[in-house]
C-alpha cells in the first residue's frame, strides 16, 4: 500500500490481521442488518397481502350491494311510473 511502511514483517502482519478483523466484523454486522431487513420485509409483505385481500373482498361486497340497490331503484321507478299511469 502506498504511504504505509512497516518496521518489521510482524508489524505488517499485525496490521493486516487487524484490518481483516475489522472487515469481518463489518461484514457480520451488515449481514445481520440484511437478515433483519429481509425478515421485516417479508412480514410487511404478508401484512400488505392480507390487507389487499381484505380490501378486495370488501370491494366485491360493496359492488354486489351497489347492484342490489340499483335494482331496487329500478323497481321503485317502475312502481312509481305504473302508479302514475294507473292514477291518470
pLDDT in tens, 5-55: 999 999 999 999 999 999 999 999 999 999 999 999 999 999 999 999 999
Burial class (CB in 10 A: 0-12, 13-18, 19+), 74: exposed
- CB neighbours (10 Å) of residue 25? 10
Tell me the whole-structure pTM to 2 decimals: 0.63
Amino acid at each position: 500500500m502506498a504511504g504505509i511502511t512497516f518496521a518489521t514483517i510482524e508489524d505488517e502482519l499485525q496490521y493486516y490481521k487487524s484490518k481483516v478483523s475489522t472487515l469481518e466484523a463489518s461484514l457480520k454486522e451488515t449481514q445481520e442488518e440484511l437478515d433483519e431487513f429481509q425478515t421485516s420485509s417479508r412480514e410487511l409483505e404478508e401484512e400488505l397481502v392480507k390487507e389487499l385481500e381484505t380490501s378486495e373482498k370488501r370491494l366485491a361486497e360493496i359492488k354486489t350491494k351497489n347492484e342490489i340497490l340499483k335494482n331496487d331503484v329500478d323497481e321503485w321507478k317502475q312502481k312509481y311510473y305504473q302508479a302514475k299511469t294507473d292514477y291518470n
